[in-house]
Amino acid sequence: MTAWLRALPTSVRLAAMTCSAFLLLMVLAGTVVYREFRGNLRATIDQQLVDVATVQAKAVEGAAVRTGADGNLLVDLELDPDGGLGPSDLERQILARDGTVLGTTQGLADAEGLVAGRRLVRVAAGVPVFGDAVVRDEPLRFVGTTVADGSGRIVVVATPIAELADAERALLAIFGPVALAGSAFAGLAGASISRRGLAPLARMAAEADAIGAYDLSQRLPVPARRDEIRQLGSTLNRMLDRLEAAVQRERDFAAEASHELRTPLAILRAEVELARAVAEPAAREGLDSALEEIDRLAAVVEDLLLLARAGAAAALDRRQMVDLGALTSAAVQRFDTVARARDVTLVASGTVTINGNASAIERALANLVDNALRHTPRGGAVNILAGPTTGGAVLVVRDSGPGAEAQALPTLFDRYTPAASRPGSAGLGLSIVAAVAASHGGGVRARNLPEGGLEITVELLGGSG
């Protein structure tokens, strides 16, 4: 099977195989029918030719050997009255043992001996030989038999078979189109049957594609009939059960660990701040670095806790009306110092209100702005846009940086990938954005802008105002 055939859909391949199998069957059946038809047409003529050749071979016995064309050759011989072939239907030759023409009727004048090659060996053994020949564009059927006088001469009797050839061509002319039409119908029928048979798989694939990484509670539709497709669907559903249980254990562990780490980190930070307050100036630099690392560790803990809650839909437990315009303005103020230090213009526009979790959306927006600022060169710009959509709202963050590699776009929001990471986030930055969007019933997508830069759009559902 060639690579291009393997690349075709299963239904198309099944249709092609059905069409090919039917065509092969028709060719085999046609070959058998044609051979039988051809053989039956010739059987009657062969018997008549044998009868005539036997009579004429007996008449030649003992006659003088002559060579050259002779228009009166064998004309005085009595033909088989029941043979069905008259003198006008027949052409004749007398051949020497080696196939040389000794005598011929006018219709075979200048023609080579019809019996030649292996047929000479068979006829010398006393076995009549048959064959087809074309003389002066006319198809002939001939029989050759030996003269039983020890001379080795061969009597050949031939008759035109143009009508037989026409009948054979008519059979092929009818059978060929019928076979092709039947093969085409078989291919269409195979495609229709395969599509109907594979329809449950197509529905199953659509359902599987709709199952999100943050909601594994959905299950694939299983047909009522007990067949291989039902077995496949049941097997995949059991696999989803195991995946859901494993992911839930991961979320529970992350949430519990993050919650348990919050208090020790808070105590550690307080103690370091207290030590810094009474430390010598030379030691404060090291304590400042320790405070930065504690803040980064606390950010990782908060990210893990938010991911766990968003994955379990806990981020929507405290729903309230959230002004996205106010959140974007607050994000501009929060990152204004960083933007000025990097000589990047940071602006926000638009306003819309949505029913959601303010802290989760604020954290997702902060990650987007932080990601954009880190990838925007000096003199560039980062734009934040909030706007309404049908049943919700969108947050759009555009930067003027180099954008993302095309192959990295599909995995941009996966956890623990370089594209999703930011300093101190352990590769969780953009995955937080995806989790928050999913917990609000929406989604996130990214694209490279034609003029350069990356645009990330976050859809949030929950009734905009």
pTM for the complete prediction? 0.47
- For residue 349, is it within any domain? yes
Least confident of 23-32, 279-288, 298-307, 316-325: 298-307
- For residue 235, is it within any domain? yes
Domain co-membership, 372 together with 450: yes
Mean predicted confidence (pLDDT) in 362-378 = 89
- pLDDT one-digit tens code per residue, 57-68: 887 776 655 543
In the prediction, which pLDDT does 69 show?
A: 40
Domain co-membership, 102 together with 7: yes
Reported confidence tier of residue 325, pLDDT bands at 50, 70, 90: very high
Domain containing residue 379: CATH number? 3.30.565.10
Q: Which residue has the higher pLDDT, 427 or 201?
A: 201
* CA separation for the pair 374, 92 (Å, rounded): 103
In the prediction, which pLDDT does 440 show?
A: 85
- 346, 380 contact by CB (below 8 A): no
- pLDDT one-digit tens code per residue, 102-121: 888 888 888 888 998 888 88
Domain containing residue 292: CATH number? 1.10.287.130
What is the average pLDDT value for the chain, to the nearest integer?
Answer: 80
- For residue 181, is it within any domain? no
Q: How far is CA 23 from CA 169, 191, 261, in A?
A: 20, 15, 72
- For residue 201, is it within any domain? no
Mean predicted confidence (pLDDT) in 342-370 = 89
Domain co-membership, 337 together with 257: no
Domain co-membership, 285 together with 336: no
Residues 6+ apart with CB under 8 A from 75: 87
* Best mean pLDDT range from 189-203, 254-268, 339-353: 339-353
Domain co-membership, 305 together with 322: no
How many structural domains comprise the chain?
Answer: 3
Domain co-membership, 305 together with 363: no
- For residue 379, is it within any domain? yes
Domain co-membership, 130 together with 273: no
- pLDDT one-digit tens code per residue, 332-345: 998 898 899 899 99
Residue type, 113: G
- For residue 455, is it within any domain? yes
Reported confidence tier of residue 12, pLDDT bands at 50, 70, 90: confident
354 φ, ψ (degrees, to nearest 5): -140, 150
In the prediction, which pLDDT does 464 show?
A: 57
Three-state SS sequence of the chain: CCHHHHCCCHHHHHHHHHHHHHHHHHHHHHHHHHHHHHHHHHHHHHHHHHHHHHHHHHHHCCCCCCCCCCCCCCCCCCCCCCCCCCHHHCEEEEECCCCCEEEECHHHCCCCCCCCCHHHHHHHCCCCEEEEEEECCEEEEEEEEECCCCCCCEEEEEEECHHHHHHHHHHHHHHHHHHHHHHHHHHHHHHHHHHHHHHHHHHHHHHHHHCECCECCCCCCCCCCCCHHHHHHHHHHHHHHHHHHHHHHHHHHHHHHHHHHHHHHHHHHHHHHHHHHHCCHHHHHHHHHHHHHHHHHHHHHHHHHHHHHHHCCHHHCCCEEEEHHHHHHHHHHHCHHHHHHCCCEEEEECCCEEEECHHHHHHHHHHHHHHHHHCCCCCCEEEEEEEEECCEEEEEEEECCCCCCHHHHHHCCCCCCHHHCCCCCCCCHHHHHHHHHHHCCCEEEEEECCCCCEEEEEEEECCCC
* CA separation for the pair 452, 184 (Å, rounded): 52
Give the domain-ending residue among 169, 200, 217.
169
Mean predicted confidence (pLDDT) in 71-78 = 44
Domain co-membership, 56 together with 142: yes
Reported confidence tier of residue 380, pLDDT bands at 50, 70, 90: very high
pLDDT at 229 over 70: yes
Domain co-membership, 348 together with 277: no
Reported confidence tier of residue 377, pLDDT bands at 50, 70, 90: very high
Domain containing residue 55: CATH number? 3.30.450.20
pLDDT at 394 over 90: yes
Q: Which residue has the higher pLDDT, 76 or 208?
A: 208
Domain co-membership, 420 together with 322: yes
Q: Which residue has the higher pLDDT, 421 or 453?
A: 453
- For residue 72, is it within any domain? yes
In the prediction, which pLDDT does 68 show?
A: 39
Mean predicted confidence (pLDDT) in 247-264 = 76
- For residue 209, is it within any domain? no
- pLDDT one-digit tens code per residue, 179-214: 888 888 888 888 788 788 777 878 888 888 777 666
Reported confidence tier of residue 302, pLDDT bands at 50, 70, 90: confident
Domain co-membership, 406 together with 281: no
Token reading at 424:
């101190």
Domain co-membership, 322 together with 447: yes
Give the domain-ending residue among 248, 279, 311.
311
Q: Which residue has the higher pLDDT, 73 or 346?
A: 346
- Its domain, for residue 283, covers 228-311
In the prediction, which pLDDT does 65 show?
A: 52
Mean predicted confidence (pLDDT) in 12-22 = 82
Burial group, residue 126, by CB count within 10 angstroms (0-12, 13-18, 19+): exposed
Reported confidence tier of residue 329, pLDDT bands at 50, 70, 90: very high
Mean predicted confidence (pLDDT) in 295-316 = 66
Give the domain-ending residue among 264, 293, 311.
311
